[in-house]
Structure formats: C-alpha cells, structure tokens
Amino acid sequence: MKKKFLLLAMISMISAAFVSCDKDDVEDENNNNTTTGDLGNDVVYPTIHYMGTMNVINADGSIYTNSAAECGVMKHIDMDLILLNAKMAERMPALDSISVRGIPYTDEDGKSKFEVASIVPYFKGNAFSQYTITGLKGYVSDDSLVFSAQMGSYPIEYKGLVK
C-alpha cells in the first residue's frame, strides 16, 4: 500500500512539473495578444507579438518580401527579439523561433530604442553563428516594431504592428 501511495505521489509531482512549464496566451492591460515567457529566474515577462513585413536584400540587389513575418518582443532588464516566421528567400522554408537575446535598450520619447553592433541569434536553443546579426538598430513603441540589420549575408528590414 505504501509503495502505491509513493508511486502515485511521484506521478503527481512529475505531472505538476510539466504543467507548470507551459506558456500561456494572455491579454495585457491594452488587450494586446501576448505570450508569457519564463527566463528561468521565476519571473515571467510578457511577449508582445507583431505582424508585419520583412524585406531581405539579396546579393544580386533583388528584394524578397515576407509579408507574413511575425516577431515577438520580451522586455526585461534587456530585450529579447523572437523572429517567428523568418524566411530569407522564396524557396527557403520558414525558420520558426530564431531568438536574439540580451539586447540592451533605452526608453525615450515613448519608444524603447535599441542598437547593437554584433549579436549571435539562437535557433532551437543553439547558437546560430552563421547568421550573426550585425548593425541591429530599431525601436519598439506601444503599437509597432521597426528594425534593420544584417543577418549573416542578408540585409533585412522589418516593420510590424501589434498583432
């Protein structure tokens, strides 16, 4: 009987651990679609989602436009930028969840402005150094996200509105 009770208690604790690690969609005070993100320090920060257009300038000068580019921004001590539908060329499959972590920002004139000379993004939890981002510059406001950068050999520009 005691073994059955201990087994049941252990299964309950394992189940609770999986449930507590889930991300939830919530609405913030402005009714924006957000997702909570846990940075591993028991503090949960909202991720605000933006839908917009990403332009990629190819080596031949042609421009590929991804008009369904979605990004997320999570602001805490620094800012994390998540590219949710990153596609650099027509035939390239969309890369989901490329994250750029630890972007310093300053709040001024109603915008959170950021500028970084070089930063390595992450894809599926691993450093994605072949697409090191250089010249990242932009801002987040109450309703929009705008940035430009060089991602690997691809110059990119993004403009999006709160989803």
**Domain residues for 107?**
25-162
Residue 89, domain member (yes or no): yes
The residue ranges of the chain whose pLDDT is under 70 are: 1-46, 93-95
Q: Is residue 6 part of a domain?
A: no
Tens digit of each residue's pLDDT (9 = 90 or more) over 19-53: 344 344 444 444 444 444 444 444 455 689 999 99
CATH of the domain at 62: 2.40.128
Rounded to 5°, the CA angle 118-122-128 comes to 70
- Residue 75 inside a domain? The answer is yes
Query: What residues does 57 pair with on adjacent strands?
Result: 63
Domain membership flag for residue 11: no
Check residue 1 and give its pLDDT.
54
Q: Structural domain tally of the chain? A: 1
The pLDDT, as a whole number, for residue 52 is 94
